[in-house]
Amino acid sequence: MKRRAFSTLMVLWVVAIAGVILAGIQAHAFGQASAGREALARVRAVWAARSGLELAIARTEFDSLNPDTSNAFRVFDDLSASANRRLDDSAFRLAYSDAYGDHLGARDSNAKININLMTAAQLATLPNMPEDGPDSILDWRDGDDDTKPMGAERGYYQSRRYPVTPRNGDLKTISELELIVGMTPELVRGEDWNLNGRLDPNEDDGDSSWPPDNADGRLDAGLSGILTTSSIDGGLAASGQERLDLTSATAAQVAQRLGVDTVQADAIAAYGASSGASMAEFIRRDLRQLAQQAGTNAAIAATIRALDRTQLGSLYNECSIGPAAAGKPGRLNINTCDAETLEYLPEMSAGLADAVIYERSTRPEGFQSIVDLLDVPSMTRQRLAGLASIIDVRSNAITVSSRGRDAKTGIEVEITAVIDRSTIPATLTEYRVQ
């Protein structure tokens, strides 16, 4: 009897152990299957996000080669119209946030001021800029080891707990600012802690999670909402052709491209090829004066007709003096920037910035050239000439935030990238997956 009871107990014990082992195997298999499903869902979300980015690249390249010269917002309108797409078992959404809320589409990188072009005086006007910030930023950018009065150079940075070496050149990303004396992440990023240009849930929940925010439904991006390192100068002309270099262009080429008469074309070509020529002088001074400066006989110069607004606008949109400055820090696009951003430019008071924005609001298709700013009250030719080297009406860099979503699990992956369309094919100068 005892032996039979013991045998029964052993059988039950073996069955129990087998059950535990089987349950463990099942739990492990279920975990592996769940992990596999999650990995597959993430892959679908990644490729959905990548699909959104590829669509944005294709749209921007098409716009560069087939520009709508009557609508400065065409590429952004096209991206907004294509911002939501469903795919097989997934979808993507292109969007960005600013102080006015959320928007479908992509953000113009040239809607912000490139920090690599700013002077100490301009840097000092930025909100919450520490007293030593401007000199420290300039020391970080310049190529020497001479410390400015309130700046810092290699010796200081090498003595820190975590040593770094100053760039001694243009900043490559806006987050690089945080390596510079006095520039904290809170100052640089504001509520946009991951620098994706979107108001994420943790950035709009008050004190519930990091970062601190005011939960007002609008993105306060700190200095990253005003400044950029991504904007790029150069690129194709407004017509989609290579820019006409006036240092070597013939009068016939000038006449054909700009629609000016032969006498005007001769004067433009002669001045463009002269020593010290500047595009801004076409705004500041009369064409007759420029022709005489280039050596044109006074009697002949007297017959030259002044460029009208349309001709002067075409000159700026189609020509350059010297090769187009590809890859250099980009100018501010007055069609897409905020009024507040305009105020940080030299020659631009708060009142004038408001007047520019008001004039822009009366033009549904935007300013077609910077010469259109002469229609703004109190904008003089002298003032516009001073702004000509730092403003534009088109952009070469577009920031895209493409969020892919797996339809079955809801898993999301976001790709943030900067598309440089100053060359064809377009290239990516930044690329982050999160």
Residue that terminates a domain, selected from 277, 303, 320? 320
Question: φ and ψ at 172, to 5 degrees?
Answer: -95, -30
Q: Is 121 left (phi over 0), alpha (psi -120 to 50) or beta?
A: alpha
Q: 11 with 102, same domain?
A: yes
b/e 374-408 (16+ beta carbons within 10 angstroms → b)? bebeebeeebbbbbbebbbbbbbbbbbbbbbbbbe
Residue 54: inside a domain: yes
Tens of each residue's pLDDT in the chain, 434 residues: 556 665 666 666 666 676 666 656 665 555 555 667 888 999 999 999 999 999 999 999 999 999 998 999 999 999 999 999 999 899 999 999 988 889 999 999 999 999 999 999 999 999 999 999 999 999 999 999 999 999 999 999 999 989 999 999 999 999 999 999 999 999 999 999 999 999 999 999 988 998 988 999 999 999 999 999 999 998 889 999 999 999 999 999 999 999 999 999 999 999 999 999 999 999 999 999 999 998 888 888 888 999 999 999 999 999 999 887 667 899 999 999 988 899 888 878 889 999 999 999 999 999 999 999 999 998 999 999 999 989 999 999 999 999 999 999 999 999 999 999 988 899 999 999 98
Residue 66: inside a domain: yes
Q: Which residues, including other chains, have CB under 8 Å from residue 167's CB and lie 6 or more apart?
A: 140, 141, 176
Residue 388: inside a domain: no
Residue 410: inside a domain: yes
Q: 7 with 98, same domain?
A: yes
Residue that terminates a domain, selected from 270, 302, 320? 320
Residue 14: inside a domain: yes
Q: 7 with 96, same domain?
A: yes
Residue 26: inside a domain: yes
Cα separation of 415 and 159, whole Å?
A: 36
Residue 101: inside a domain: yes
For 284, the domain range is 244-320
Helix (H) or strand (E) holding 51: helix 2-65
What is this structure's pTM? Answer: 0.87
Cis peptide before 323, with omega less than 30 degrees from 0? no
Residue that terminates a domain, selected from 275, 293, 320? 320
Number of domains in the chain: 2
End-to-end CA distance of the chain: 68
Report the C-alpha dihedral over residues 161, 162, 167, 168, rounded to 10 degrees.
20
Residue 400: inside a domain: yes
Cα separation of 263 and 271, whole Å?
A: 12
